[in-house]
Amino acid sequence: MDGAGIVIVSHSGKLSTGLAELLHQVAPNVQVAVASASSETLGTSAESIRSAIFEVPQSHHVIVLFDLGSSLLNAEVALELLDSATQARVHLVDAPLVEGAVVAAVALQSGLSWEEAVRQAQNARMTPKIAT
């Protein structure tokens, strides 16, 4: 297992597809899948997260990033429903959604490991946006 892809879980379809667009610009070779409600409703579902995970090639690790509240609950349920081999390559990462996704995508694009991409996404929380 070598590469890794990213799954974006958001209550808003526009937010997740917009973020995927942004990631495509900075990391064109990184596979990004989105899981969210239809364009009419806001919310997340475990089923949509599960199918987004399977959009990433089976030979890849999957870095799952999520927005608010029930998106984590649903991601955890989706993970619970997977077989153990798939579970082992799916990683729920606690990170700010936009910043975390961008640094993870850039890390993967530059050939770094999935572990390093996860570490950088988690660290995005600590990186100030306004220099002091």
Partner 1 sequence: MNVEHVRAWLYGYRDRLTAVQGLLDELDNRIGDGDHGTNMLRGFRAACEHLGEAASPSEVLHKVSMGLLSTVGGASGPLYATAFLRMSQAWRGMEDISIKDLANGLNAALAGIQQRGGANVGDKTMVDVWAPATECISSDPTEHGVREASRAARQAALNTRQLVARRGRASYLGERSVGTCDPGSVSSAILFECLAITLVEGMEADPWTAQVL
Residue 91: alpha-carbon gap to chain centroid:
9
**Residue 32 vs 49, nearer CB to partner 1:** 49
Shorter beta-carbon distance to partner 1: residue 15 or 106: 15
Q: Which residues bind partner 1 (CB under 8 A)?
A: 37-38, 41, 43-48, 69-70, 73-74, 76-77, 80-81
Query: Of the two residues 46 and 107, which places its CB atom closer to partner 1 in the complex?
Result: 46
Burial class (CB in 10 A: 0-12, 13-18, 19+), 110: exposed
Kindly list the distances between the CA atom of residue 37 and the CA atoms of 14, 17, 41, 86, in Å, as whole numbers in the listed order. Answer: 9, 11, 6, 23
DSSP 125: G
Question: Which residues are catalytic, by number?
Answer: 11
